[in-house]
Each structure stands twice: as structure tokens, then as C-alpha cells.
Chain A
Amino acid sequence: MCDEKDDLNKKLTEKHLELEEKMENLEESLKIWTDAITELSEIEDAFKTSEKPEMRARRFWMLERILLNRFILRLNITQAKS
């Protein structure tokens, strides 16, 4: 009975250590990604694509969607005022 308990404890400890290590690795990965994303503002010029018509078109599509949101927002404001 005591041996079984010891075995179980040992297994649980091993699993705990394994998960702890996995967690540390994931935290490290997340930190790397967070740092990389934070630094994006420093290199935003690298994402300028005005010389490429096909990418420009895609950007316009995105802008159009945003403009639509803004337009709806403005309409709501107008309605509220009246």
C-alpha cells in the first residue's frame, strides 16, 4: 500500500516537473513573440507597399471596411443628436 502511494507520488512529481518545464518554454516563446510585436513599430516602414498595386488594392479593401464602420458610427451619433 505504502509502495503504491510512493509510486503515485513519484509519478505525479515527475509529471509536475514535466509540465512546469513545458510552461516555462511556452512563457519564453510568448515573451519572444510579444517582444517582436512590440518592436514592430520600429520597423513599420518595412511594411509599406505603395509600389505594389495588388497589395494596395487589398489595403483599400481593409480601409473600406473600416470606413463603413466609421460611417455607421457617425450615423448613430447624428441620430442621437436629433
Chain B
Amino acid sequence: MCFSQFELELESRSKFLTDTSIRLYTCSLFDDVALNRIREKEGISGKFNFVLVSKTLHHLRTDECVEEHECQEDEECCKYGLNEEYVFAKLLSLGERVIIYEPIKTDGDLDKTRGRGGNFTKKELLQVFKYLSENEKYKVRFIRPQIFDLDKTTLYRVESMLRQVDILCFYVEKNSNKS
């Protein structure tokens, strides 16, 4: 029997047929003990196929201000940095593919607490993509607003793209050709 004729239809319909259970946990991504406890409870061993970081990458900032100013006690004007190497290594240790869906800063940051949070500026995002494109250990593909692979030769497209959109989506995988 040939299944290929049904594949497309089944693939689209499977979204409605697949049972999904969702459980909510509160846990820091960087708290290995708590994270492992949850994984154990859920019977999860090994990596996930996907890790979706939905509007959350800017919450994975460090706890050190990168602004050139004298930090006030309330840190209202402070902005923590992002350790790209550490964050992506951590995310890729959890899943084969890390999908990032991230807004770009417009006026006002409702979710900023001290120096943490606060959406990324275009400049900050450009820095992230520069880092990812310069490291051959990553395979990066943009999904939204347009689909293309990111590398040194396509980095030039990112700057103009960031000027035109307020949200973007890309994914990162370990490059199987590089260690």
C-alpha cells in the first residue's frame, strides 16, 4: 500500500488528532537540580526534539550591567548583558533544535525588572547574530520574516531585516559538520 498520497492530508489533520497534555512548572533554566527533578518526574530522558523559547530570550540575561553609567541602587536604568555562548550551549543541551521567537524593542519595556528583561534592541540582536554567524558549530536558519540560513555571507541581510520587523523567529542547531 502506498501511503504518500495520504501523507499531506494526514500531516495537516494530525494537529487536531494528536492528544496533548500540558503541565506548568516554575523553574529557572539554569537551575540544573530543579530542572532534572522535573525531567525525572515527567520521565524525560535525553534531549527534546525542540526547545521553543517564546518571547523569553531577553530574560536570559546575565546579572551584570553593560551600560556605561554609575548604577543606581534600584537599577532602573541598568541593562544586563547576554552571554550568548553560555545561553545557547545550555539550550542546545536540552534540545536538538532551539527555536527562538523574539520581539524587538519598541517604546517601553513592561517586563523589565532591574537590569533583567527588557526586550533586546536591534543593536543587541545584531550582536547575537554576529556571534552565531561567526561560530561554525551552529547551524542557524531564519524563519520569520523570511527564510534563509545565517552565516558570514548572509549576515549583511540581518541589519536591514531588523529595521523592518518587530518580531522575528529563527532556530539554532548544532552543526553536524563541525564538532
Contact = CB atoms under 8 A, between A and B. Distances in A.
Interface of A: 26, 29-30, 33, 36-37, 39-40, 42-43, 45-47, 49, 52, 55, 58, 62-64, 66-67, 69-70
Given A62-B14, A66-B10, A42 B54 contact: no
A33 B10 contact: no
> DSSP class of A's interface residues: helix, strand, loop or mixed?
helix
Contact of B22 (A33, A55, A64, A70): A33
Contacts of A52: 96
Interface string B145-179: 00100000000000000000000011100000000
A36 B102 CA distance: 11
Contact of A63 (B3, B101, B143, B171): B3
B6 interface: yes
A22 to B, nearest CB: 11
B24 A29 contact: yes
Given A39-B54, A69-B17, 16 more contacts: A30-B24, A36-B55, A36-B101, A40-B52, A43-B144, A43-B169, A46-B169, A47-B99, A52-B96, A55-B49, A58-B49, A62-B14, A62-B18, A64-B3, A67-B3, A70-B10
A49 B49 contact: yes
Contacts of A47: 50, 99
B40 to A, nearest CB: 22
Nearest to B26: A29
Given A43-B99, A47-B99, A66 B143 contact: no
Contacts of B171: 46
A63 B14 contact: yes
A43 B101 contact: yes
Contacts of A33: 22, 24
Nearest to A41: B15
Nearest to A25: B26
A33 B24 CA distance: 9
